[in-house]
Amino acid sequence: MKITKLLRLLITLALATVCCVALPAAADETTSEVRFTSVPDIFNWNISNPQPGWEETLDWFFDRLEDEGPDFTLVAGDIMDARWWDDAEQVRRKTEEYWGGFNKRFKDRDMTVYVAPGDHEYGDDGGLARGDIARAFAHEFTRQMGMPRNGPENHIGRSFFVRQDNLLVITLDTFEDAGKRFAYTVGDEQLQWMDKVLTDHKDAEFVIVQGHLPIVGPVRSKNSSASMLKGGTNSKLWKLMVKHQVDAYLCGEHHRVTVHHQDGIWQIVHGALWGTQTDLNYMRGAVSDGKLTLELLEFNVQYSGGHIGDHPHRGAKNKPRENVSLTDKTKADGPRVTGKLVIESTAAGKNKATTTDGWFSKDKLGK
């Protein structure tokens, strides 16, 4: 009996020792890395799925989005040209065709995408100038795109947030219904909602906000109407982001890369015009071990053939080309890293940049 009790005691002690030793390993296993990509202004033209002459190059590109950002892809607006201004029925029919094809590219690969509405998601500048057309686009975006529905009531499915581990991502709609037309701003209802989200998630180590329109200027621009958020850094939106110490604001619209660092916020304008511009770009990001790492990558393509025709209210040659292929150098070497930013969290709660190379370096900011 005494021997049996002793054996049980020894076994219990051995198990306890094993459990204690195993605990640190189990804790390590729960630590996860969040990896994502960002590609605003894709495609900015009406691109079908499939699109003859494009698919091989798109497969190459989506392979990278899938491998480098397996958690999600951010798209800060302008996924199609979408100059459909006849009536709500045309908006419904055309968005189902083209937006449906866009969504399918991600669904076929089981990829998660978070899209912020751009001006082209409202019919471009001409659509935004007509309240009835812009509202038809807003309705279809909410209905079709399948974005999270945790935003303010007047922007359901168009303004939302996602929290993944220590990263909070807020997507904004930078266009507000002003009656006869839509305004290039973020209204009070969105701001009140955003303030609450940021307060509720103040434990997040890093915060990224994406919206289509840049706030800080000047911004490099090509083949763009070069729109900016009304009020700029005097806007309520900017002041709210400064108050909550947002780390980065991602935006598009201008089809060029420009980085600003102001009031502690990194505004990153990037994206390019597929089908027209030969120098394209995207960004990959990662959060792990108290660091947010962002890397801008660029690559080159070439075009051939004629022009894709389904682009109303455009000139004969103001359209994307029929064939898109990678240059020999891109095929051989892949995308090149042209900017790297590392932001580290601190015990004081004020994050700071520890690496700023390329586009993020001091001599490149605002240029």
**Residue 10, domain member (yes or no):** no
- Closest of 265, 261, 185, 269 to residue 219, by C-alpha: 269
Q: How would you write the pLDDT of the chain (367 residues) with one tens digit per residue?
A: 333 333 343 433 343 333 333 333 333 344 589 999 999 999 999 999 999 999 999 999 999 999 999 999 999 999 999 999 999 999 999 999 999 999 999 999 999 999 999 999 999 999 999 999 999 999 999 999 999 999 999 999 999 999 999 999 999 999 999 999 999 999 999 999 999 999 999 999 999 999 999 999 999 999 999 999 999 999 999 999 999 999 999 999 999 999 999 999 999 999 999 999 999 999 999 999 999 999 999 999 999 999 998 999 999 999 999 999 999 999 999 999 999 999 999 877 789 999 999 999 999 999 9
C-alpha 240/C-alpha 34 separation (Å) is 25
Q: Transcribe 294-338 into DSSP letters.
A: EEEEEEEEEEEEEE----TTS-TTSS-EEEEEE-HHHHHH--EEE
Distance, in Å, from the CA atom of 145 to the CA atom of 113, rounded to the nearest integer, reads 10
Q: Is residue 112 part of a domain?
A: yes
Omega prior to 160 cis, within 30 of 0: no
State residue 12's pLDDT score. Answer: 39
Cα three-residue angle 121-239-73, rounded to 5 degrees? 40
**Spacing of C-alpha 327 from chain mean position:** 26
Tell me the backbone φ, ψ of residue 48, rounded to 5 degrees: -80, 170
Q: Are 255 and 44 in contact (CB under 8 A)?
A: yes
pLDDT at site 278: 98
Give a yes or no: residue 14 inside a domain. no
Q: What range does the domain containing 339 cover?
A: 32-364
Q: Sign of dihedral through CA atoms 239, 240, 243, 246?
A: negative
The answer as to whether 225 is a domain residue is yes
Looking at residue 10, its pLDDT comes to: 41
CB 124 within 8 A of CB 81: yes
For residue 338, tell me if it sits in a domain: yes
Alpha helices in the chain (DSSP H): 2-30, 55-68, 88-108, 124-128, 131-144, 188-200, 236-243, 328-333
Q: Using CA atoms, how far apart are residues 312 and 357, in angstroms rounded to an integer?
A: 42
| Position 4 in a domain | no
Q: What is the CATH number of the domain that holds 340?
A: 3.60.21.10
Indicate whether 12 belongs to any domain: no
Residue 72 · residue 113 · CB < 8 Å: yes
What is the pLDDT, as a whole number, of residue 338? 98
φ/ψ of 289, rounded to 5, equals 50, 40
Predicted confidence at residue 2, as pLDDT, reads 35
**Residue 69 counted as domain residue:** yes
Cβ 188 vs Cβ 155: under 8 Å: no
Into how many domains does the chain fold?
A: 1
